[in-house]
Structures are given as structure tokens and as C-alpha cells.
Amino acid sequence: MEADSPIILIKIGGSTLGSEDTSFADVAALQQQGARVVIVHGGGPAITSWMATMGIRAEFVRGLRVTDGPSLEVATAVLAGLINKQLVSEMRSLGVNAVGVSGADGGLLCGRITDPDLGFVAGELEADASLIERLTDAGYVPVVSPIAASADDAGQLLNVNADSAAGALAVALGAQRLVFLTDVDGILNADGRLIRRVPLDTGEELLHSGIVKGGMLPKLEACILAARAGVKAGIINGTSAGALPSWLEGSLPGTAVV
């Protein structure tokens, strides 16, 4: 792979994983066209279901899940283990030379506990893209799970929001594009209509408007961070066939943060 070919970072949401997902075939096609592709995945629903299986009760503070010690163990096992390896093997079966790493590998993602109420959750993310660059230059498609190392406490793992991880990594890589594949068409306004373009100067307003909620908040935040660094950032519906190439060609509507 050419070291100067454009990097496209794709975040795959847990909500689109396992639905009729054609995104892996799209990834294979993109790579064949000469792009360096990097995947970051989530996995909220699988963590919730494994926590229930393990008898760990989910706790929430201000609507956000608390990651205590046992929850961190389940999150690490499910994200960096099961989901990551399932994705890698599915992609490999489609001819994508995928390799799975977590954010704790090779110094990829470091963070700090910024809100102790939330437990072992990383904020103030710092990304070191050198491992990912080496992998993409060698023709691999890195598949990154959102687990980080603690910058303060050597050896401590931290749970990271996958959208934030994708944003930090896109900036560190100097990616050409950051694309969030999710289960809605993009950011919807109060009437449920798609907002196709979010100019950077109105992005912050939108973030605090009350229109963007829950899982869409960290996506918009990450898009703003990335767009400020010159990355073309977008949020699209990944549940329909060929969504990714259609968005890149301009034929699929979605939300672009510019």
C-alpha cells in the first residue's frame, strides 16, 4: 500500500453490527481502489447482554453507564476479544487483510479518568498512530476496539467511547475522511429531518441545542474535533447496502460536518 494514499477511518456502531451489514464488502472494495482503511468498532448492545449473562447489573449516572471493575473486565473481554475477533474473521473471509488491535496495544490510545463518577472511563484521549500507520503501509486493515491504557496509572485499562476513539485516531492519522456508520441517516433536526451540512461554526451550538442526544452526541463531538483538524467528517446510515461507497460518491444523503 502506498504510504501517501488517503486514509479513510470508518467507525462501525454496535447498533449496525450484525444487521444486514454490507459494510465489510464495501471496505474490501475501498482498499482495492487504493485507500488505506482503518476501522474502529463499538459494541454497546453486546456488552449489555454479556453483563446480564454474568449477573452484573448496569449502573447509570446522569444517563451514562458506570464502568466499575467487573464491568471493565466484561467490556474488555467483549470489545477487544469477541467482537474484535468476529469482525476480523468476517472481514478476512471477504478478502480484507484485517488485523485486530485494541487501543491499549502499541500505545495507540491513552486516556485519563476525567469523571470519577463514571468509573474506569477514559477522557482526555491521546492517540499515537504509529502502529496503525505501519499496519496500513504493510497492506493491513487495522480493526481497533475502544479500550485504552491509562496515562496516569500504569497497567490500568480504561473503557473509551468508540466515537471519541475514532475522532482522536482520525486526527492523529491525519485521515482524509472519518465516517460514522450508524442506524439513522445522520443528525436529525427537531422535526426528524436530516441535517445534511453542519458548518463548524454552528456545530458547537447544535451540540448544546438539546436536539442531539445520547449516542449522537459523541459522534458530533468527534466530527467537530476531526473537521477542525482538516478531516472530512460525516455520519451516515450504515444499515443499507453500499452505503459507504454511495456516501463517498455523493449519492447517499447523510450529515457532513465541514
Ligand X SMILES: Nc1ncnc2c1ncn2[C@@H]1O[C@H](COP(=O)(O)OP(=O)(O)OP(=O)(O)O)[C@@H](O)[C@H]1O
Active site residue 219: yes
The count of other CB atoms within 10 Å of the CB of residue 133 is 18
Q: Environment class of residue 247 by beta-carbon count within 10 Å: exposed (0-12), middle (13-18) or buried (19+)?
A: buried
**160 near ligand X, judged by CB under 6 A:** no
CA distance 240 to 237: 7
Question: How far apart are alpha carbons 234 and 213 in whole angstroms?
Answer: 17
- Which amino acid makes up residue 20? E
Q: Which of the residues 13, 14, 186, 234 is marked catalytic?
A: 14
Residue 245 interacting entry, from ligand X, Mg ion, none, C-beta within 5 to 8 Å by type: none
Pairing of strands 232-237, 177-182: parallel
Give how many residues touch Mg ion by CB under 5 A: 1
Q: Specify whether the CB–CB gap between 61 and 118 falls below 8 A.
A: yes
**CA-closest candidate to residue 66, choices 121, 103, 123:** 121
Interface segment toward Mg ion; rule CB under 5 A; list 22-30, 46-54, 173-181, 212-220: 212-220
As given in the structure block, the three cell numbers for residue 236 are: 451516515
Catalytic residue among 43, 44, 238, 254: 44
Find the Cα–Cα–Cα–Cα dihedral 159, 136, 3, 37, rounded to 10°.
-80
CA distance 113 to 57: 21
Alpha carbon 147 to its chain centroid, in Å, reads 11
Of the candidate spans 68-76, 124-132, 177-185, 243-251, the one that interacts with ligand X by CB under 6 A turns out to be 177-185
Binding flag, residue 111, ligand X (CB under 6 A): no
**Minimum CB distance to Mg ion, residue 96 (Å):** 23
The nearer residue to ligand X, 39 or 133, going by C-beta atoms, is 39
Ramachandran angles phi, psi of 257, nearest 5°: -100, 115
Per CB under 6 A, which of residues 21..50 are in contact with ligand X? Answer: 42, 44-45
**Least gap, CB of 185 to ligand X (angstroms):** 8
Q: Is position 13 annotated as part of the catalytic site? A: no
Q: Which stretch binds Mg ion (CB under 5 A): 58-66, 147-155, 201-209, 211-219?
A: 211-219
Q: Is residue 215 a contact residue for Mg ion (CB under 5 A)?
A: yes
> Quick one: 32 or 49, whose CB is closer to ligand X?
49
Active site residue 163: yes
Catalytic annotation on 14?
A: yes
Cβ proximity to ligand X, 21 vs 133, nearer residue: 21
Catalytic residue among 163, 167, 215, 254: 163
Given 26, 119, 167, 219, the catalytic residue: 219
Q: Report if residue 214 touches ligand X, rule: CB under 6 A.
A: yes
The sign of the torsion formed by the CA atoms of 136, 156, 182, 84 equals positive
Beta bridge partners of residue 232, listed in sequence order: 177
Point out the residues that are catalytic. Answer: 11, 14, 44, 163, 219
Binding site for Mg ion (CB under 5 A): 215
